[in-house]
Structure 1
Amino acid sequence: MADKKKLYKIAFGLAVFTIIYNVAEGLISTYLGFEDESLALFGFGSDSFIEVISGLGIAHMIIRIQNNPDSKRDDFERTALRITGIAFYILVYGLVITSIFNIWTGHKPLTTFWGVVISAISILIMWILVVWKRNVGNRLNSAPILADANCTMVCVYMSIILLVSSGIYELFGIPYIDSLGTLGLAYLAFKEGKECFEKAKSDKNCCCD
């Protein structure tokens, strides 16, 4: 019982760390993305802020299942999911429109160096979180925590897209690659938004299962 309580504390600590990290990542990425005129980095940072809303729902979920492992998703979590879903759809709309505009006008970022740095750091940290969450989820035999770990992988995929697009532009200066990377981020954000609404309507843990 004591070991279980400790594991739930670790799970909650991971959720809080994820929130704090996403706030920091969002602030840094949106600022540098704006300064460097890199839409991919700016969009990546905007996604991080949305993940904060999702993270609050996850932290609440961990407290709920610790108190009652058999309980169903409550109103707070469903509301957080709907707000997150709406925010993702707004982000997708903004990224797609701006990407098309940038391609049309031939806009290119000043540099994507910071996109490479931030995405590399994010891949490392998010992968550690995925492994740690899976370990805790398996030890608790908790489907919701395991589902959260699987969904955290989307952050890894987004980081990889940012790393590839930023790296290619920084090395070869290929036009439109920043905008193409942004469209890749928009696709994943759309999938996340759709998943949020699906989860809000049911008690299933995650479409990433």
Structure 2
Amino acid sequence: MKLRRRVSVENSLSVKKGVNIELLSIAWMVIEAVVAILSGIAAHSLSLVAFGADSVIELIAGGVLLWRLQIEVRGASHTRVERAEKRSSWVVGIALILLCAYIVIASIDKLLTHHGAETTYVALGLVIASAIIMPYLSRAKKRIGTQIGSKALRADGSCSMVCAYMAWTVLAGVLFRALFGWWWVDSIAALALVYFVWKEGWEAIQEARGKEDACGCGHEN
């Protein structure tokens, strides 16, 4: 009985840690989305706007996941928790697939019209910060997700790592644009993001459909 109570207390503490890390993640997503989208619009950078749009989608997913964790903190049934996880996966998956379509169409249009982008120090600072912060959040979410048995939180950890990959891709585009003045590199960087965004969206949809091991999100890296 004492052992069971101790396990229950430890799980409750882990869930609360999950809530805290998700709150931290949501706060950063707000900053990332606002700065990336506004900087992208000012610099006419599709890759930055796409990066910011992905942050908005992750913000929505984080909000739903936070709701799911708070449900568990309040002692909700396993069935209700699973339903919340699936709802989160559907929202994220569909939104990410739509974002892919936007990126492809906008990138092709910019390439055909020879529409380049400018470089801003604000954008450079943002993507460097994201490249540093997101791996930390990813590891924390996966660790806590494993502790409480939440596939959704582990998957969100993988999403955070994808965000880091996207930041590195955007950073490469910004640097090449600044160093060599290649007008087309922003559109190419944006198209490179499609792989990450599509993979993330498809895995979320498979998870929502109840496909076991539909993605690598639940595996520790």
Query: Is TM more than 0.5 here?
Result: yes
Greater mean deviation of Cα atoms: 169-178 or 104-113? 104-113
**3-state SS, counterpart of residue 18 of structure 1:** helix
Letter in 1 for 2:87: T
For normalisation by structure 2, the TM-score amounts to 0.83
Instruction: Please say if residues 35 and 123 of structure 2, whose CA atoms lie closer than 8 Å, have aligned partners that are also in contact.
Output: no
For normalisation by structure 1, the TM-score amounts to 0.87
Letter in 2 for 1:198: Q
Closer/same/farther in 2, CA of residues 142 and 78 from structure 1, 3 Å limit: closer
* Separation in structure 2 between the aligned mates of residue 100 and residue 57 of structure 1, nearest angstrom: 33
Which residue of 2 is the match for residue 101 of structure 1? 109
Instruction: Please say if residues 15 and 148 of structure 2, whose CA atoms lie closer than 8 Å, have aligned partners that are also in contact.
Output: no
- Unaligned regions of 5+ residues in structure 1, if any? none
1:83 is aligned to 2:85: no
Matching residue within 7, 13, 35 for 2:14: 7
Instruction: State the identity %.
Output: 28
Matching residue within 32, 35, 56 for 2:39: 32
Query: What displacement does 1:72 show?
Result: 7.3
Letter in 1 for 2:69: I
1:121 is aligned to 2:101: no
Query: What displacement does 1:149 show?
Result: 2.2
Aligned residues: 208
Letter in 2 for 1:15: E
Matching residue within 166, 170, 181 for 1:173: 181
- Unaligned regions of 5+ residues in structure 2, if any? 1-5
Q: Deviations over 1:45-94 (max 9, x none)?
A: 01100001211232233345553796575333323322222221221111
Instruction: Please say if residues 151 and 206 of structure 1, whose CA atoms lie closer than 8 Å, have aligned partners that are also in contact.
Output: no
* Separation in structure 1 between the aligned mates of residue 97 and residue 89 of structure 2, nearest angstrom: 12
**3-state SS, counterpart of residue 74 of structure 1:** helix
The structure with the largest alpha-carbon Rg is: 2
CA RMSD of aligned residues (A): 2.4
* Separation in structure 2 between the aligned mates of residue 177 and residue 114 of structure 1, nearest angstrom: 19
Closer/same/farther in 2, CA of residues 137 and 186 from structure 1, 3 Å limit: same
